Amino acid sequence: MTATVPSLTDVTDKSKAQGVVVFVCRSCRAEADPTAEPRAGATLAQTVSALGKDEGVTVRSVNCLANCKRGLSAAIRTQDGWSYIFGGLAQDDAADLLVGARLLENAPDGLMPWRGRPDSLKRGMVARIPALHHTEETP
Ligand code: FES
Protein backbone atom coordinates (compact mmCIF):
# COMPACT_ATOMS: atom_id res chain seq x y z
CA MET A 1 0.00 0.00 0.00
CA THR A 2 1.08 3.54 -0.59
CA ALA A 3 1.11 6.34 1.92
CA THR A 4 -2.09 7.80 0.44
CA VAL A 5 -4.14 4.73 1.22
CA PRO A 6 -6.11 4.94 4.44
CA SER A 7 -5.61 2.29 7.06
CA LEU A 8 -8.45 -0.01 8.02
CA THR A 9 -9.14 2.01 11.12
CA ASP A 10 -9.20 5.26 9.15
CA VAL A 11 -11.80 3.96 6.76
CA THR A 12 -14.42 3.29 9.40
CA ASP A 13 -16.33 1.88 12.10
CA LYS A 14 -16.19 -1.88 12.20
CA SER A 15 -19.90 -2.19 12.98
CA LYS A 16 -20.78 -1.01 9.48
CA ALA A 17 -18.92 -3.79 7.72
CA GLN A 18 -21.72 -6.28 8.31
CA GLY A 19 -23.16 -5.96 4.82
CA VAL A 20 -20.00 -6.52 2.83
CA VAL A 21 -18.43 -9.83 1.89
CA VAL A 22 -15.01 -10.42 0.39
CA PHE A 23 -14.72 -13.55 -1.75
CA VAL A 24 -11.20 -14.74 -2.52
CA CYS A 25 -10.40 -17.41 -5.08
CA ARG A 26 -8.43 -20.11 -3.33
CA SER A 27 -7.62 -21.91 -6.58
CA CYS A 28 -5.60 -19.27 -8.41
CA ARG A 29 -2.02 -20.23 -9.12
CA ALA A 30 0.98 -17.96 -8.93
CA GLU A 31 2.01 -16.91 -12.43
CA ALA A 32 5.68 -17.22 -11.51
CA ASP A 33 5.27 -20.70 -10.04
CA PRO A 34 2.03 -22.35 -11.14
CA THR A 35 2.85 -25.69 -9.55
CA ALA A 36 3.47 -24.27 -6.09
CA GLU A 37 1.47 -25.73 -3.23
CA PRO A 38 -0.35 -24.41 -1.40
CA ARG A 39 -1.67 -22.35 -4.26
CA ALA A 40 -1.07 -18.64 -4.06
CA GLY A 41 -4.82 -18.05 -4.05
CA ALA A 42 -5.25 -20.32 -1.05
CA THR A 43 -2.59 -18.41 0.85
CA LEU A 44 -4.19 -15.08 -0.04
CA ALA A 45 -7.62 -16.39 1.01
CA GLN A 46 -6.26 -17.53 4.36
CA THR A 47 -4.54 -14.21 5.00
CA VAL A 48 -7.62 -12.16 4.08
CA SER A 49 -9.79 -14.43 6.20
CA ALA A 50 -7.55 -13.99 9.24
CA LEU A 51 -7.47 -10.22 8.80
CA GLY A 52 -11.22 -10.16 8.23
CA LYS A 53 -11.83 -11.96 11.53
CA ASP A 54 -9.80 -9.34 13.33
CA GLU A 55 -11.57 -6.51 11.55
CA GLY A 56 -15.13 -7.82 11.54
CA VAL A 57 -15.34 -8.26 7.77
CA THR A 58 -16.86 -11.44 6.36
CA VAL A 59 -14.43 -13.26 4.08
CA ARG A 60 -15.18 -16.44 2.15
CA SER A 61 -12.94 -18.48 -0.09
CA VAL A 62 -14.36 -19.74 -3.35
CA ASN A 63 -13.12 -22.30 -5.82
CA CYS A 64 -12.97 -20.05 -8.90
CA LEU A 65 -14.17 -16.61 -9.97
CA ALA A 66 -13.64 -17.32 -13.69
CA ASN A 67 -10.82 -14.81 -13.82
CA CYS A 68 -8.10 -17.44 -13.88
CA LYS A 69 -5.89 -15.82 -16.52
CA ARG A 70 -5.71 -12.69 -14.43
CA GLY A 71 -5.32 -14.12 -10.93
CA LEU A 72 -5.01 -13.82 -8.08
CA SER A 73 -8.67 -12.96 -7.97
CA ALA A 74 -11.18 -11.65 -5.48
CA ALA A 75 -14.61 -10.07 -5.40
CA ILE A 76 -16.12 -7.59 -2.98
CA ARG A 77 -19.90 -7.59 -2.71
CA THR A 78 -22.50 -5.71 -0.77
CA GLN A 79 -26.14 -6.48 -0.21
CA ASP A 80 -27.52 -3.42 -1.98
CA GLY A 81 -24.59 -1.76 -3.74
CA TRP A 82 -22.27 -2.53 -6.58
CA SER A 83 -20.02 -5.57 -6.62
CA TYR A 84 -16.41 -5.57 -7.79
CA ILE A 85 -14.15 -8.19 -9.30
CA PHE A 86 -10.40 -7.77 -8.99
CA GLY A 87 -7.50 -9.58 -10.58
CA GLY A 88 -3.74 -9.40 -10.72
CA LEU A 89 -3.59 -9.40 -6.95
CA ALA A 90 -0.49 -10.37 -5.02
CA GLN A 91 -0.31 -12.28 -1.78
CA ASP A 92 0.55 -9.11 0.09
CA ASP A 93 -2.63 -7.35 -1.09
CA ALA A 94 -4.76 -8.95 1.63
CA ALA A 95 -5.14 -5.76 3.66
CA ASP A 96 -6.04 -3.84 0.49
CA LEU A 97 -9.09 -6.04 0.01
CA LEU A 98 -10.29 -5.15 3.48
CA VAL A 99 -9.71 -1.45 2.86
CA GLY A 100 -11.80 -1.84 -0.30
CA ALA A 101 -14.50 -3.61 1.67
CA ARG A 102 -14.63 -0.76 4.15
CA LEU A 103 -14.74 1.85 1.42
CA LEU A 104 -17.60 0.07 -0.30
CA GLU A 105 -19.52 -0.51 2.88
CA ASN A 106 -19.37 3.17 3.73
CA ALA A 107 -20.08 4.51 0.26
CA PRO A 108 -23.34 6.44 0.34
CA ASP A 109 -23.98 5.77 -3.36
CA GLY A 110 -23.02 2.08 -3.26
CA LEU A 111 -19.97 2.67 -5.44
CA MET A 112 -16.46 2.02 -4.18
CA PRO A 113 -14.76 5.43 -4.29
CA TRP A 114 -11.63 5.76 -6.39
CA ARG A 115 -10.08 8.16 -3.93
CA GLY A 116 -8.47 6.25 -1.12
CA ARG A 117 -8.71 2.98 -2.99
CA PRO A 118 -5.49 0.95 -2.72
CA ASP A 119 -3.46 0.81 -5.94
CA SER A 120 -4.00 -2.93 -6.22
CA LEU A 121 -7.76 -2.31 -6.39
CA LYS A 122 -7.30 0.40 -9.02
CA ARG A 123 -5.02 -1.39 -11.46
CA GLY A 124 -6.62 -4.76 -10.70
CA MET A 125 -10.24 -3.86 -11.26
CA VAL A 126 -11.75 -6.26 -13.77
CA ALA A 127 -15.42 -5.33 -13.59
CA ARG A 128 -18.12 -3.86 -11.44
CA ILE A 129 -21.61 -5.27 -11.35
CA PRO A 130 -24.73 -3.33 -10.38
CA ALA A 131 -27.07 -4.36 -7.62
CA LEU A 132 -30.17 -6.26 -8.71
CA HIS A 133 -32.45 -3.28 -8.15
CA HIS A 134 -30.20 -0.85 -10.07
CA THR A 135 -31.65 0.89 -13.10
CA GLU A 136 -30.63 3.81 -15.28
CA GLU A 137 -33.61 3.46 -17.57
CA THR A 138 -35.85 6.45 -18.02
CA PRO A 139 -39.60 6.06 -18.39
S1 FES B 1 -8.74 -20.28 -10.43
FE2 FES B 1 -8.91 -18.29 -9.51
S3 FES B 1 -10.31 -17.27 -10.79
FE4 FES B 1 -10.27 -19.27 -11.59
Asked if the bond preceding 72 is cis, omega within 30° of 0, the reply is: yes
User: Which atom of ligand 1 is nearest to 87's Cα?
Assistant: 3
What is the CA(136)–ligand 1 centre distance, in A? 31
Reference 14, options 80, 107, 110, 102; nearest CA is 102
Q: Which residues of 124-137 are buried (b: 16+ CB within 10 A; e: fewer)?
A: bbeeeeeeeeeeee
- The per-residue pLDDT for 19 is 84
What is the CA(10)–ligand 1 centre distance, in A? 31
- The per-residue pLDDT for 9 is 45
Tell me which amino acid residue 119 is.
Answer: D
Ligand 1 mutation pick, 25, 62, 85, 86, max ligand atoms within 8 A of CB: 25
- The per-residue pLDDT for 120 is 98
Out of 3.40.30.10, 3.30.360.10, 3.30.750.24, 1.10.3210.10, select the CATH number for domain 19-129. 3.40.30.10
- The per-residue pLDDT for 139 is 73
Domain boundaries, the chain: 19-129
- The per-residue pLDDT for 72 is 98
What is the CA(110)–ligand 1 centre distance, in A? 26
What is the CA(64)–ligand 1 centre distance, in A? 4
- The per-residue pLDDT for 8 is 47
- pLDDT (tens place) for every residue of the chain, 139 residues total: 343 444 444 444 444 445 899 999 999 999 899 999 999 999 999 999 999 999 999 999 999 999 999 999 999 999 888 999 999 999 999 999 999 999 999 999 999 999 999 999 999 999 999 998 889 988 7
